[in-house]
Amino acid sequence: AASDVYKRQPLHNPANLMGVRTCMALMPGKPNVGVFDTAFHQTMPAKAFMYALPYEDYSELKVRKYGFHGTSHLYVSETMREIMGNPEHSKIIVCHLGNGASVSAVLDGKSIDTSMGLTPLQGLMMGTRCGDIDPAAVLFIKNKRGLSDKEMDNRLNKQSGILGIFGKSSDCRDMENGVAEGDERAKLACLLYTSPSPRDMRRSR
């Protein structure tokens, strides 16, 4: 049923579709334009977007890194190139930091790598998302706690990150206040949020 398909859409799509349908109802006959923030990352080479899974998972299921926050990364990188005098060649690292967070490498105006993957869950720790994690840890937690797929997905996307470690809020301002007040979990959350992972440090060498 169409309602079942609607419910299975990725996190942001239901809200976006609601906006489209509302605009169509309020302004009939006016065109709606869909801007997908994955589009900016379609210039990534295969070595950046492929996962080391059986190749048919890519060729048949299209499992690959798509990246997100593309409209932000495009705007910031284009603005920086303008500030730099629109050079023919440029290397820019864009950091989109907030409750959602991602980093992109932009070469000559084109995305060549980004931290988010098949979904926005991959990459940096965020307000409520865990970021990079051993997939086996997901299976272990799911089985030990007897969680359904939906419950585990909710745990990773909405109960983790700063909220999961700090325990009181996903807001960086609350976390910083907690650090100032000596809250040990706030301190740990802040360290996790601001410290590069070993993989990031290896890449930067």
Point out the residues that are catalytic.
Answer: 37
Vertex 170 angle, CA 166 and 176, to 5° = 65
Euclidean distance between CA atoms 108 and 97, whole angstroms: 22
Euclidean distance between CA atoms 203 and 197, whole angstroms: 10
**Rg of the chain (C-alpha set):** 19
Sheet with 91-96: list strands edge to edge: 91-96, 102-107, 110-114
Residue 172: partners with Cβ closer than 8 Å, 6 or more residues away: 98, 99, 127, 162, 193
